[in-house]
Amino acid sequence: MNAQTNESLPNVVVLDYGSGNVHSAVRALERAGANVSLTAHPDEVLEADGLVVPGVGAFATVMKELKAVDGPRLIGRRVAGGRPVLGICVGLQILFDESAEHESREPGMGEWPGIVERLPADVVPHMGWNTVQVPDGTRLFAGIENERFYFVHSYAVQKWEFDVNQPRMKAPMVTWAEHGAPFIAAVENGPLSATQFHPEKSGDAGSALLRNWIKSL
């Protein structure tokens, strides 16, 4: 079988808004089978087959930098139009209502209800490999349900408060992990997916997850 040509690969944009560690995400997505661009150009962000929103550092800083490139509006337009988006680490956290990081309340995008709070663990940050508990029917973790993934974070969403009785809306699938307390490790919600861990740092398991996401584009 001939290898896929670059023209036949899906186009993925990694949102370039000043977050660190973006180049490792770009390389991991390329290895997983995508044409990847690092840009914040609105037309490219909106037209790509998939958008990846990485994030490292403080929640408030990430939100400020995202707003500087009109990131929340662009992400919101893609989600409203059913265009796939994948958030990574703080790129997951900013999709929730707000963060209580550094004892202040910072608003997020509000795509999902919940508050980002400090992990109640003896050792913080949570740094290293951890297992996850995946939901039935997951596409993101298909074939890698029992693998470990690499986490680096001190804050997480520890309660899922989505109203499952909302009419005409399918409840998101939530994956959990534990460090001092259970916390949300990933969410799959139609076109919008996100992971608290770093798939680009999670070896073969992370590569498989990215391939699963790319196949869904």
Give the tens place of pLDDT for each residue, 148-165.
Answer: 999 999 999 999 987 766
Convert the pLDDT of each residue in 27-57 to its tens digit: 999 999 999 999 999 999 999 999 999 999 9
Instruction: Single out the catalytic residue among 106, 147, 188, 200.
Output: 200
Cis peptide before 10 (omega within 30 of 0): no
CB 115 within 8 A of CB 144: no
Based on the residue annotation, tell me whether 89 is a catalytic residue of this protein: yes
Query: Which tokens belong to 202?
Result: 């999670």
pTM of the model: 0.94
Q: Is 99 left (phi over 0), alpha (psi -120 to 50) or beta?
A: beta
Least confident of 58-67, 89-98, 169-178, 189-198: 169-178
Based on the residue annotation, tell me whether 198 is a catalytic residue of this protein: yes
> What mean pLDDT comes out for the span 179-204?
98
Alpha helices by DSSP H, listed for 58-167, are 59-68, 71-80, 90-93
Instruction: Single out the catalytic residue among 126, 153, 179, 198.
Output: 198
Closest C-alpha to 17, from 5, 9, 25: 25
Classify domain 6-215 at the CATH class level: alpha beta
CA distance 217 to 194: 15
Instruction: Single out the catalytic residue among 30, 89, 103, 153.
Output: 89
Q: What are phi and psi of 216, to 5 degrees?
A: -85, -5
Convert the pLDDT of each residue in 52-61 to its tens digit: 999 999 999 9
Based on the residue annotation, tell me whether 30 is a catalytic residue of this protein: no
